[in-house]
Structure formats: C-alpha cells, structure tokens
C-alpha cells in the first residue's frame, strides 16, 4: 500500500518536560515529537507486556504509567491521567467537563459503561438558546459565558470507577496533578497555538486572561512554565473530601458564581444542580462486525449506535478485497455513514427523556439499509433519509441540528490484571465556555443540544430540557472476540468522532493494519452530504474519484486525536495520533 501522509517531523522542544525532570517522559517525548496545532509528527507503534497508557499529552501518559507502576489499577491511573490532562491540555477536557467511560473488568469478563455526561440545569427551558425574537443564537454568542455551562460529571465519574476498581488510595491518584500544578509545566506548542486562535473569546474573562496570556495580551509562549495554585488547591480539597469537595462547598460556590456573574450571557447552573448530580452506570451497546463485538457508549451518546450502524451496513461488502486505496471502499463507507447519521439525527438523544427505536442495530434492518448502497454511484441528497427500524413504543420526533465542536480528548489504559479503561472526555468547544473557576475551565456542553426545540410544531429529540444530557458523538470503544478484548480506542473530533472510530476499526479488521497504521490512515469522512478529504495526505488523490461518483467534496483539516491499544496474546501494542502531541507508554 502507498499510504504516505507527507508526515512532517517536528523538532523536540526540550523545555516541554522542564517541570518534571522525568527521564521517562523525556524519552517518550524524544520518540514522539510534539506537533503544532496544525501538522503531524511521525510516530511508531509502542510495545509493552504488562500495562500501558495511550493519552493526548506525554505528561498525562507518564502520570498514568507512574500509577500503574505503583500497583494501581486502570481505575487509579484514569484519575491521574484525567487530572493532568485538565491541567496541561485544558482546551480539551478537565474536571469542569464530562466524560464517557467504557470499562472492561478482567475478573468478571464483563463490560460496563459510566455516563459522566453533563446535565442541563433544573431551571432551563427549551428556549435556552433562542433570542428575544425566537431565533437560534449564533453559536459563539451561546457558547461564551455562563449560559452554555452544564453540571460537570468528570469528578463523580472518577469517584464511581475508583470505588468500583481502585487499588490505591483516592488521594494517591490525585498527587501527580497536584504536584505538577504546584511546580508548573511547560506550555506545549499546541496549547500556545490554540491560545492564539482563541484570542477575542478566552481572554474576555479577566481570570482566564491573566492565566493564559502575558501582560501584553499575547498567548503564553511555548516553553513558558505555567503554575496553577488554584487548581492544586481544588484537587487538594477533592483529595481530602472526595467528590463532595467539588460538588459542594467553596469549589461549587466558585463554579456557580462564575456561571451567573458573566455580563451579558449568565447561566442557570445552581448549587442544587451540582449537589444532585449522579453518574449513571449503563450497559454497553455492542454491535457485531466480522465475528467481533464492537462495544461502546449508548445514549445519551450516539457513538456506539452510529458506529454499529455503519459497520453493520458495510459488513455486506468485501472491503478487505477492495482495500483502502480503492475509491469504491470509500463510496460504500461514505454512504453508510450518511445513512447512519440520518438515523442519528432523527432518533438519537438522551434515552431517559426520549424513547428510541429498539431496532437501530437490528441486522435485518441494516442489511436493508445496505441495499441502498448497492449501486455504482453516490446516493443523492433526497435518497439519504432516516429509515424505519423496528419499533417498541418509541417517540417519533423531528430531526434537529446541533453543532458539536472537536475539542475533546481520548485515552486508553490497560493494567496488570487486564482491566481496560477507554474514556472520552470533553469540555466541548476549545476552552469550553471560556470561563474559569477554581483553576479549571468550565464546559459549554449545553450547546450540544439542538438550539431550536421544535420544527413545524414537532419536538426535536435533542432539545434542551431540565436534567437532560445532551446528545454526544463521543465513542469510547472496546472490541471483543469471543468475549475477550482485542482493541480499545476512541478519538476527539465532534461528530467526526464517529467516522474516525468506525474507519479505524475497518482498517484494523478488514485491512489488517496494526494500531499505529490504522490511526495514521488518512481521513475521509462524510456525515451530512459533503465528503471531506484530509488535506496534505494521500487521500487527496481520491477526491476526483469521489466526485465522479456524484459526491460533493472538499479538502480540509481533519484533526482527530485517536488513541488505541491492541491487546495481543501476552503483549500490548499502543498508538497515538500523529495529528496531536499524544504518546503511548508501557512496560
């Protein structure tokens, strides 16, 4: 195969790990040079025998590995990874946001999922994102401020999984992030670039401006050592009091004050919303593919259902024989993705609020849907519409548009016992609501709801409602063979997460790539009618072929952040996305 991606290796910035002085992290960074906000850095598959972490920043991966080396479980390492990511990669995730976790328990051989998605405040109405004339707000008019902030779920999720599977003390898992916040970390090239892109939004809040920008109002330079004593204090309270140290008391009061104090765009989050938040442990949603079970997060995430639909449709075609360079493969995958997204838009939302069809993964239904693709040309716009899956007292609601942003993070952890955490975590847009409180960024996840609550008098499934969790595309995934895990992966990327994950699974299963090769594969995605081809990659050579099929096409950046681990007999193989600064580390 000729899958050259014109990868550019970036020079190592030795100051990246100034704050830790860690030889291991330095070695990891030497092997995986960090990239700027745009561009890629060549990476190689990483091998280990007993345990591994693949995460979006070397400092976070090292923190997780440190916990595993101390005998901690994947649940313990998860807390260290997440709390360090919230410090060094605040644009993507943190304790002011939400997350979905797919968990494999090695002792029982069972999968479960933890729903730490944000909830809408009790005081919201379906008109939350409408202006005085009843028209939807412009996206960033809704985002920047308190209006977009939902009740964060990450800290309760961390506590829940630690209670289930933690081996070290709760306080021990938080120490790496507390230490790093106190001593400081070096601003990475990616953080510096994204701070520059966000001028005019993030720097509107005085607290955020003072933390992220210098006295001249410019983004902190790459290599600047940045300390966060407020974050260290918050984590110390959480270490002492558990999750209650976040959801009640002074931290909760600071969150609510920041949400309500925004001039011009205050929010509705209350202390009661925080104190009543609950993580929900749910059954995993699994779909068959080529003798495997592809398992992930169900509603309020649309991830596992939509990935499962795509795979269910393409399973009726011989993608292995076609290969990744044949445009016919991408015609099939692209139209399967469009059909799955049509069902997603019509039916999928928080199932605690909206009754959904029980047959979205029905194999006969997906075979019928795949027959629509059995043709030589692309489906026309009129031919791409929601199907009629088997029903069981479901509510028919109208399609709605929500604008998911791609600022999220994914990490995978495998521990010595074989427990696996596959977790996607987010504050939604880059730097969330652009509001900081107690040392961390607050999410803007409420803008994942459809801004228009109804169309032509019919309710939109993903409308805003009190206590509801907005629909997500986050797709943390664990793939099983005969009940045993073989792959764990996921990605950021807004609604592009779904094709990123589905296409990576196709590359692993049909095209027999290793995890790094599958993640490196150039992206081609088509969710809503336009086929986007990843700029600067060999995928551009397919654009004319896709246009000849009848697709609308465009070339653009597709900045995934795929991280994954393959679980092999007696070995682990980890990989990190060359489009970001992540690494895989293991022993």
Could you list the active site residues?
A: 408
SS3 assignment, position 387: coil
Q: Who's near 364: CB < 8 A, 6+ residues apart? A: none
Identify whether the C-beta of residue 100 lies closer than 8 Å to the C-beta of residue 424. yes
Non-local CB neighbours of 565 within 8 Å, separated by 6+ positions: 52, 54, 412, 414, 420, 487, 488, 489, 515, 572, 573, 574, 575, 584
Q: How far is CA 216 from CA 91, 190, 209, 211, 221, in A?
A: 21, 20, 11, 13, 12
300 prior amide bond cis, ω within 30: yes
Distance separating alpha carbons of residues 550 and 548, to the nearest angstrom: 5
DSSP 351: T
Specify the 3-state DSSP secondary structure of 577: coil
- The angle formed by the CA atoms of residues 522, 524 and 530, to the nearest 5 degrees, is 155
Q: Which two tokens stand for residue 440?
A: 């961390």
Concatenated DSSP letters for 180-195?
HHHH-EEPPHHHHHHH
For tokens 């654009």, name the residue.
543
Show contacts of 215-221: CB within 8 Å, 24+ apart.
Answer: 219/192, 219/195, 220/187, 220/191, 220/192, 220/195, 221/187, 221/192
Whether residue 184 is annotated as binding a ligand: the answer is: no
Known binding residue 494? Answer is yes
Cβ–Cβ under 8 Å, residues 122 and 466:
yes
**Which 8-state DSSP code applies to residue 9?**
P
Q: Please check if 472 is assigned to a binding site.
A: yes
3-state secondary structure 523-548: CEECCCCEEEEECCCHHHHHHHHHHH
* Residue 93 in marked binding region: no
Helices (H), 151-222: 154-165, 170-183, 189-197, 206-212
Looking at residue 217, the DSSP 8-state letter turns out to be: S
Cα–Cα dist 96/228, whole Å: 15
Say if residue 190 carries a ligand binding annotation.
Answer: no
Residues 3 and 521: beta-carbon distance below 8 Å: yes
Residue listed under structure tokens 């664990």: 478
CA–CA dist 575, 487 (Å, integer): 11
> What are the C-alpha distances in Å from 386 to residues 347, 383, 399, 454, 515?
8, 9, 9, 18, 33
Binding residues: 117, 448, 472-473, 494
Binding residues for L-glutamate: 117, 448, 472-473, 494
């Amino acid at each position: 195969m000729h899958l050259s991606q014109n990868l550019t290796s970036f020079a190592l910035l030795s100051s990246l790990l100034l704050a830790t002085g860690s030889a291991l992290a330095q070695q990891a960074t030497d092997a995986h040079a960090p990239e700027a906000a745009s561009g890629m850095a060549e990476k190689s598959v990483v091998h280990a025998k007993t345990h591994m972490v693949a995460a979006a920043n070397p400092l976070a991966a090292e923190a997780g590995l440190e916990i595993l080396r101390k005998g901690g479980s994947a649940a313990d390492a998860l807390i260290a990874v997440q709390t360090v990511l919230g410090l060094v990669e605040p644009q993507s995730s943190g304790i002011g946001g939400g997350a979905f976790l797919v968990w494999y328990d090695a002792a029982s051989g069972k999968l479960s999922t933890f729903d730490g998605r944000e909830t809408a405040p009790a005081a919201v109405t379906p008109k939350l994102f409408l202006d005085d004339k009843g028209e939807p707000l412009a996206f960033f008019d809704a985002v920047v401020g308190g209006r977009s902030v939902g009740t964060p779920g990450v800290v309760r999720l961390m506590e829940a999984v630690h209670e289930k599977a933690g081996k070290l003390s709760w306080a021990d898992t938080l120490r790496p992030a507390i230490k790093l916040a106190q001593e400081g970390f070096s601003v990475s090239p990616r953080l510096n670039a994204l701070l520059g892109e966000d001028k005019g939004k993030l720097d509107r809040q005085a607290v955020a401006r003072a933390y992220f920008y210098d006295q001249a109002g410019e983004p902190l330079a790459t290599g600047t050592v940045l300390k966060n004593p407020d974050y260290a204090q918050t984590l110390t309270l959480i270490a002492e009091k558990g999750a209650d140290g976040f959801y009640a008391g002074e931290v909760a009061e600071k969150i609510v004050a920041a949400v309500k104090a925004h001039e011009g765009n205050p929010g509705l989050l209350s202390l009661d919303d925080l104190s009543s938040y609950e993580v929900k442990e749910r059954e995993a949603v699994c779909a068959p593919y080529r003798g495997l079970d592809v398992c992930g997060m169900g509603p309020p995430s649309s991830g596992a259902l939509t990935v499962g639909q795509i795979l269910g449709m393409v399973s009726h075609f011989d993608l292995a024989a076609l290969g990744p360079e044949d445009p016919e493969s991408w015609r099939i995958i692209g139209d399967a993705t469009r059909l799955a997204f049509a069902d997603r838009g019509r039916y999928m939302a928080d199932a605690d609020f909206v009754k959904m069809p029980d047959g979205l993964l029905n194999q006969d239904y997906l075979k019928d849907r795949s027959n629509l693709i059995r043709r030589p040309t692309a489906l026309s716009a009129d031919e791409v519409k929601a199907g009629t899956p088997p029903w069981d007292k479901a509510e028919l609601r109208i399609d709605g548009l929500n604008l998911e942003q791609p600022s999220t993070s994914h990490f995978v952890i495998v521990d010595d016992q074989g427990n696996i955490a596959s977790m996607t975590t987010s504050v939604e847009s880059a730097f969330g609501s652009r509001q900081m409180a107690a040392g961390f960024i607050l999410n803007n996840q409420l803008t994942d709801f459809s801004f228009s609550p109804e169309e032509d008098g019919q309710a939109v499934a993903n409308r805003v409602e009190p206590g509801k969790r907005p629909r997500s595309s986050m797709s943390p995934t664990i793939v099983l063979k005969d009940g045993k895990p073989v792959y764990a992966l996921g990605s950021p990327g807004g609604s592009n997460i779904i094709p990123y994950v589905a296409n990576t699974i196709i590359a692993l299963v049909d095209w027999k790539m290793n995890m790094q090769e599958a993640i490196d594969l150039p992206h081609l995605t088509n969710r809503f009618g336009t086929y986007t081809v990843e700029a600067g990659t060999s995928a551009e050579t397919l654009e004319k072929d896709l246009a000849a099929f009848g697709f609308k096409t465009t070339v653009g950046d597709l900045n995934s952040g795929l991280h994954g681990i393959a679980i092999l007999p007696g070995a682990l193989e980890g990989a990190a996305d060359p489009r970001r600064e992540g690494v895989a580390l293991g022993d």
